[in-house]
């Protein structure tokens, strides 16, 4: 565990320290697009944050290669090199898009090529653990197509959800943390070495996101851009492909050991876990495609109909919308993780149900204005407080406004007596004088 913590800290530190210089470089390079109709920020913000994240990835892999226990991953598997090759390719495409806004179909082709490069170097799905069926071996073409599809879907899901400050980095970090705990348990608790690459990928991905988040929280000083969102999406997909396609309990254990593994680590969890970690981004991706197809638009046409945009529209603040998305991501990912540990526990199901109800309550917050009691005001944000000082200030402002109104009314000049012009007399003579009360 200490070596993983060292790798995590090095990756986060390199990413954090390089983000500042990268921001200055992005400003000089002109990677600050104009504000678009779908954007929620008000000032042009530099992109290219993926540059710092990519060098953080390289630093993490370099450190892990020189550590005693983690070096075995590089000696026994070619997957780290496959990841680095695919990451470098997708990162270059993202950098070009951040600067020159390349076509969506070109980006899609680049994503497929990056996934194909990783497949050619051995990072592919070999079999699928299917419930009630068992482990199903895949042909080379089936594994290749499934791997490319999973990588492309994950990349675009993360790219689509990158619409608020700190949203994509935080959600991917939560997913990587849950995935790390799952793969670490498989490797060290059950001795399944095939989970070692996915464990390393997860901890490096956590470091990349944690190092970038301080610069990207609202209000963001820099955006990761496509160079960052596509990069972390690819790393997330690489870990899912590695553990899904390589961990096969049926071939590693026999007899009572196999039944033990099936009880503690259900055979279908390697298939379900990668899906849960991208559940929210994938749902947003599917809804976006359906919504745009219904309108007769291209699936790649940008709009303001994503989940985070809808949270803002119903009244949530920027920070609260991000925290709600964090909450649901953590609930799904860690709920699946807890289920993989003990699938027979009713407390896990009840806990997930309770937290889901709590999440639904959080979604309804804009419909009312909660106020904390006096004793809890020190522990809640200022907008939920009813402090006496604030009430006194409000009363003073109201009193001052009323005094100004009274003074203004007193300073107004007396209205002059209106002058009436009329005709009087039997011979048509004109008389000018004040209008009598009877004439009003």
Strand partners, 432: 421
406 is a domain residue: no
Tell me phi and psi for residue 128, to 5 degrees.
-125, 130
Domain assignment present for 424: no
Which among 357, 379, 407 is the end of a domain?
357
Same domain, yes or no: 243 and 374: no
- Do residues 139 and 40 share a domain? yes
> Using DSSP, how many helices (H) and how many strands (E) does the chain show?
17, 4
Q: How far apart are the first and last CA of the chain?
A: 96
CA 37 to chain centre: 20
* Residue 294 domain flag: yes
Determine the pLDDT at residue 302.
Answer: 65
Question: What average pLDDT score do residues 350-355 get?
Answer: 79
Residues 245 and 389 reside in one and the same domain: no
* Domain end (from 357, 390, 414): 357
Taking each helix axis from N to C terminus, what angle separates 225-246 and 196-216, rounded to the nearest 10 degrees?
160
Is residue 67's pLDDT more than 70? yes
Residue with tokens 């009813």: 386
Residue 372 pLDDT more than 70?
A: no
H-only helix segments in 217-278: 225-246, 249-252, 256-264, 269-277
Give the single-character DSSP code of 124: S
Please classify residue 321 by burial: count the beta carbons closer than 10 Å to its beta carbon, then call 0-12 exposed, 13-18 middle and 19+ buried: buried
Tell me the HSE value of 188 on the side-chain side, using a 13 A CA sphere.
12
Question: What is the pLDDT confidence band of residue 277, given thresholds at 50, 70 and 90?
Answer: low
419 burial level (CB within 10 Å; 0-12, 13-18, 19+) = exposed
Residue 254 — very low, low, confident or very high, per pLDDT cuts 50/70/90?
Answer: very low
DSSP code at position 435: P
**Neighbour-count burial of 229, counting CB atoms closer than 10 A to its CB (0-12 exposed, 13-18 middle, 19+ buried):** buried
Cα separation, 64 vs 61, in Å, equals: 5
The answer as to whether 434 is a domain residue is: no
Instruction: Please report whether residue 419 resides in a domain.
Output: no
Given a cut of 90, whether residue 271 has pLDDT beyond it is: no
Give 173's pLDDT tier (boundaries 50, 70, 90). very high
- Residue 417 has a CB neighbour count (10 Å cut-off) of 8
For residues 252 and 240, the model is more confident at 240
Q: Report the mean per-residue pLDDT for the chain.
A: 77
Please report the pLDDT score of residue 354 as a whole number: 80
Domain that holds residue 96: 2-357
Residue where one domain finishes, among candidates 357, 385, 411: 357
Residues 126 and 17 in one domain: yes
Residue 160 lies in a domain: yes
pLDDT at 240: 85
Size of the chain in residues? 440
What lies within 8 Å, CB to CB, of 63 at 6+ separation is: 6, 7, 10, 11
- The model's confidence at residue 134, banded by pLDDT at 50, 70 and 90, is low
Do both 280 and 339 map to the same domain? Answer: yes
Residue at 6 is within a domain: yes
Q: What is the mean pLDDT of residues 150-156?
A: 90
If asked whether residues 95 and 184 sit together in one domain, one would say: yes
- Return the DSSP state at 343: T
pLDDT at 243: 82
Confidence of residue 348 (pLDDT cuts 50, 70, 90): confident
Q: 87 and 123: one domain?
A: yes
Give yes or no: residues 350 and 386 share one domain: no
5 pLDDT above the threshold of 60: yes
pLDDT at 189: 74
Examine the domain organization and report whether 83 and 188 are in the same domain: yes
Q: Please give the residue that has the higher pLDDT: either 369 or 89.
A: 89
Paired with 431 in beta bridges are 422
| Domain shared by 238 and 126, yes or no | yes
Q: How many domains does the chain have?
A: 2
> In angstroms, what CA-CA distances link 207 with 68, 92, 166, 174, 204?
20, 21, 14, 11, 5
Predicted pLDDT of residue 1: 80
**74 pLDDT higher than 60:** yes
Q: What is the per-residue pLDDT for 427?
A: 41
Instruction: Judge whether 240 and 154 are in contact, CB under 8 Å.
Output: yes
Q: Lowest mean pLDDT: which of 203-217, 336-350, 426-440?
A: 426-440
Q: State the pLDDT at residue 357.
A: 80
Is the separation of the CB atoms in 69 and 105 below 8 Å?
no
Are residue 253 and residue 279 in the same domain, yes or no? Answer: yes
pLDDT for res 47 = 87
For CA atoms 290, 293, 294, 297, the dihedral sign is positive
Neighbours of 327 (CB within 10 A): 16
**pLDDT tops 60 at residue 35:** yes
Residue 66 lies in a domain: yes
pLDDT (0 to 100) of residue 327: 86
Are residues 189 and 271 part of one domain? yes
Q: What is the per-residue pLDDT across 186-199, written as a single tens digit (0 to 9) for each?
A: 877 777 787 889 99
**What backbone torsions phi and psi does residue 34 show, to the nearest 5 degrees?**
-65, 155
Q: How far apart are CA 135 and CA 140, in angstroms?
A: 16
Q: Is the dihedral of CA 194, 196, 200, 205 positive or negative?
A: positive
**pLDDT of res. 279:** 73
CA angle 158, 227, 213 (to 5 degrees): 65
Q: pLDDT, tens digit, for every residue of 383-418?
A: 556 655 445 444 555 455 555 655 555 555 555 544
Q: What is the pLDDT of residue 439?
A: 39
Q: What is the pLDDT of residue 436?
A: 41
Indicate the pLDDT class of residue 331, thresholds 50, 70 and 90: confident
* pLDDT for the residue numbered 16: 96
- Confidence bin at 349 (pLDDT 50/70/90): confident
């Amino acid at each position: 565990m200490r070596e993983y913590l060292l790798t995590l800290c090095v990756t986060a530190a390199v990413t954090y320290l390089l983000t500042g210089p990268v921001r200055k470089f992005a400003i000089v390079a002109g990677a600050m697009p104009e504000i678009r109709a779908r954007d929620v920020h008000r000032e042009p913000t530099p992109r290219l944050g993926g540059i710092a994240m990519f060098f953080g990835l390289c630093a993490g892999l370099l450190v892990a290669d020189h550590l005693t226990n983690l070096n075995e991953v590089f000696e026994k598997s070619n997957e780290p090199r496959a990841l680095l090759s695919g990451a470098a390719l997708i990162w270059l495409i993202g950098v070009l898009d951040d600067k020159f806004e390349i076509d969506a179909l070109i980006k899609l082709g680049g994503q497929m090529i990056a996934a194909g490069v990783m497949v050619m170097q051995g990072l592919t799905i070999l079999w699928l653990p299917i419930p009630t069926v068992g482990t199903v071996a895949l042909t080379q073409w089936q594994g290749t197509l499934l791997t490319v599809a999973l990588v492309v879907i994950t990349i675009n899901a993360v790219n689509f959800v990158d619409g608020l400050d700190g949203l994509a980095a935080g959600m991917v970090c939560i997913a990587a943390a849950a995935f790390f705990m799952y793969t670490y348990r498989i490797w060290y608790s059950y001795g399944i070495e095939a989970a070692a690459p996915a464990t390393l990928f997860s901890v490096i991905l956590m470091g990349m996101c944690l190092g970038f988040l301080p610069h990207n929280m609202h209000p963001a000083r820099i955006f990761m851009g496509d160079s960052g969102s596509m990069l972390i999406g690819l790393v997330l997909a690489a870990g899912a492909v590695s553990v899904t396609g390589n961990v096969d309990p049926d071939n590693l254990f026999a007899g009572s050991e196999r039944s033990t593994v099936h009880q503690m680590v259900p055979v279908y969890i390697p298939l379900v876990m990668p899906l849960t970690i991208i559940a929210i981004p994938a749902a947003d991706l599917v809804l976006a495609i359906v919504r745009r197809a219904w309108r007769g638009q291209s699936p790649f046409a940008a709009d303001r109909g994503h989940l985070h945009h809808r949270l803002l529209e119903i009244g949530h603040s920027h920070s609260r919308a991000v925290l709600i998305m964090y909450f649901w991501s953590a609930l799904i990912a860690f709920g699946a993780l807890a289920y993989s540990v003990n699938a027979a526990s009713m407390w896990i199901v009840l806990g997930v149900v309770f937290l889901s109800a709590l999440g639904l309550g959080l979604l309804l917050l804009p419909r009312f204005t909660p106020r904390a009691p006096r004793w809890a005001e020190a522990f809640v944000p200022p907008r939920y407080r009813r402090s006496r000082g604030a009430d006194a200030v409000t009363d003073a402002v109201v009193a001052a406004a009323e005094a100004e109104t009274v003074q203004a009314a007193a300073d107004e000049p007396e209205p002059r007596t209106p002058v009436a012009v009329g005709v009087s007399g039997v011979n048509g003579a004109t008389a000018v004088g004040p209008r009598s009360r009877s004439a009003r």
